[in-house]
Each structure stands twice: as structure tokens, then as C-alpha cells.
A and B are shown apart, each in its own frame.
Chain A
Amino acid sequence: GAVVSQHPSRVICKSGTSVKIECRSLDFQATTMFWYRQFPKQSLMLMATSNEGSKATYEQGVEKDKFLINHASLTLSTLTVTSAHPEDSSFYICSARSPEGEKLFFGSGTQLSVL
């Protein structure tokens, strides 16, 4: 089945630094990828939809200048958390739709801890 690779799996950083998370579709082309954030004991919350070759679509309440999304190719989307603060500590997961369009395949997630 379709595979989505996400790196890094865990990041610990100081407050004020920027962190880049990569999401790759390994065996299919993904024109659309999704970025989610998940706090402990809560469900996945969609942050933004990443569209290849165009600007990302952000959900209400998500700061586009803080969470920079780049989808420069059909197999790679990146999420950069700029000037990270402790409240940004969370589990970030990317996903891509299957080629037939319905199912979602997820990256393995990135646990971000901002000190």
C-alpha cells in the first residue's frame, strides 16, 4: 500500500528556534497533503491542507506565518514551526490521500517538545 514517510520522529528544541518537519509520499504522487496536530488525549486537528505548486489552505485559528507549509513537489511537503514556543509542543502528523482519492495514509508523526 501507499507509504508516507515523516521525519524527524522527535524534536527537542529551545524556545525561539524554528523546526522543519518533512513529509514524503514514497510510492505515489500526492498533489494534496494534510498536516494535523494532536495534543494528549485529543483527536487529530487539521491545521492546513498543503497543495502542490500553490499556497496552503489553513484552518481557522492556525497562523500561517507561524506554521509555514511548502509543497514544492508531488512527493514532498514540509511544515516549519517558526519561533517555536512551549505551547507549540505537540504531536504533528502529516498525511496524503491515496491515489484513488479516499483513504488517508499517515506519516509516523513528529513529537515536538519546545523547552
Chain B
Amino acid sequence: RKEVEQDPGPFNVPEGATVAFNCTYSNSASQSFFWYRQDCRKEPKLLMSVYSSGNEDGRFTAQLNRASQYISLLIRDSKLSDSATYLCVVPPAWGGKLIFGQGTELSVKP
């Protein structure tokens, strides 16, 4: 099992749709998780942090399932501006290097 693995994309959805991505991780000791958003040829920007069961920020909801070792990102009422690549990041419990998922590309169409 890869350390961090994301749903392969791309996801092509119409404006207003609800879309969800999953990210599985292998290290059961991981305590915190992050979703980053990356636009083409730009640096990743932190979207959401997940420390317990989940987190919600407006149209974005992140949920953590420790038993199955995955986190999900739900985007409601998709906007054209949500089009980007979403990266799942899992820091190891001992504070070493962050592990990035391969990214899930989202394309929101009019």
C-alpha cells in the first residue's frame, strides 16, 4: 500500500455539483491531515486541516475515518474557480517529511 494514495482524476463536474475525493494513508499513527489546493504552475495552498473526525469550512468539508484510514474532501455547489488539483498531505507521527498524494484534478465546467 502506498503511504498516501488519492482518487485518480480527473473529475469533470458541472457547476453546482457536489464532488468528493478520497485519500487513503498507510501510517495508522498519523494524527493530522491536510488538503492543499494547487493551481497549474503555482505553489500548493493550504485548504483545510483535519485533526479529529472532520472539519467544515463553507462549501468544503473534510472527514477523517481512522478505522479505514482515509480522509475525504467534499465540495458542495462547485464553482468554476474550484478547478484545480487537490493534494492530500499526511505528516508522519514523528514529525518527518510530509508525504503528498499524487493529487486529484478537478475541472468544473459551466
Contacts and interface: CB of A to CB of B under 8 A. Distances in A.
Contacts of B102: 42-43
A43 B43 contact: no
Contact of B103 (A43, A105, A108): A43
Given A44-B87, A91-B41, A109-B41, A103 B34 contact: yes
Contacts of B101: 43
Interface residues of A, number: 19
A34 interface: yes
Interface centre among B46, B95, B98 (most CB of A within 10 A): B98
A49 B97 contact: yes
B25 to A, nearest CB: 15
B91 A34 contact: no
6 contacts: A43-B103, A44-B87, A104-B46, A106-B45, A109-B42, A109-B43
The 8 closest A-B pairs by CB, nearest first: A106-B43, A43-B102, A43-B103, A44-B100, A109-B43, A108-B43, A43-B100, A106-B44
